[in-house]
Amino acid sequence: MLITPDECGIGSAAKAIQNGSLVAFPTDTFFALGADGLNSDAVDLVFKIKGRNPGTPVPILVSDTSMAEMLANEISGPLATLAEVFWPGALTIVVPAVQLVPKVVTAGTGTVGLRVPDNDTAISLIKAAGTPITGTSCNLTGSDPIKEANIVEKIFGNKFFGSIDAPCGGSDAPSTVISYSETDGGIIKVLRHGAIGVNSLRTIVGDIVRV
């Protein structure tokens, strides 16, 4: 089902997420498959629909820094600096998770990847749902990511509530994923290269960025 990106459509999609269903929605990179990130059963459905093996971490999208801080033990130092510069945007930061975050999201790592997407539809959905939403790409595992709602519908049909029919951003790369550890030499590790380049990160925090 295609969902209109107006207030009524966003409201119905948000209600579906609150009730444990899944919704495909556009981000600044690709379409994401959204579930309530604090609902273990709903996140399990993400794995089943994508054909993805459980036991891998799931990124979480939040509406702002305040929501991010509800899920993380600490966002400080260089990560906080980079988030301030690149959020909203295609930067995922991996930080220690609070107990509220389900193990199906962290995959037992004790950490969670957080991002504020630079897409009005995505932000509106997260705010309307009132909860962090999973941000894993809406595609079958091993297949290319998707940028159009009608293609999502062709591939997945009625396997979840529906797809919000609004455009993604112009980036053809996924978000850049980084972590930081004071005990590991005080460096920023690039865990996945993406839309934000290493040089852009180094411009902000210097040569502590390592690939």
**Burial class of residue 124 in the structure, from the number of CB atoms within 10 Å of its CB (0-12 exposed, 13-18 middle, 19+ buried):** buried
Q: Can you give the pLDDT at residue 181?
A: 82
Nearest residue to 21 via CA among 166, 167, 163: 163
Tell whether 126 is covered by a domain.
yes
Tell whether 184 is covered by a domain.
no
Which CATH number is 143's domain given?
Answer: 3.90.870.10
Q: Can you give the pLDDT at residue 53?
A: 84
Tell whether 113 is covered by a domain.
yes
Q: Can you give the pLDDT at residue 55?
A: 87
Pairing type for strands 187-192 and 176-181 reads: antiparallel
Distance between CA atoms of residues 51 and 24, nearest Å: 16
CB 178 within 8 A of CB 91: yes
Tell whether 203 is covered by a domain.
no
| Number of domains comprising the chain | 1
Domain that holds residue 117: 2-73+91-170
CB 75 within 8 A of CB 69: yes
Tell whether 78 is covered by a domain.
no
Which amino acid, residue 33? L
CB 10 within 8 A of CB 124: yes
Q: Can you give the pLDDT at residue 185?
A: 81
Tell whether 53 is covered by a domain.
yes
Tell whether 142 is covered by a domain.
yes
What angle, 0 to 180 degrees and rounded to 10, lies between the N-to-C axes of helices 198-205 and 77-86?
120
Tell whether 85 is covered by a domain.
no
pLDDT tens string, the chain, 211 residues long: the values are 999 999 999 999 999 999 999 999 999 999 999 999 999 999 999 999 999 888 899 999 999 999 999 999 889 899 999 999 999 999 999 999 999 999 999 999 999 999 999 999 999 999 999 999 999 999 999 999 999 999 999 999 999 999 999 999 999 999 999 999 887 788 999 999 999 999 999 999 999 999 8
Q: Can you give the pLDDT at residue 54?
A: 84
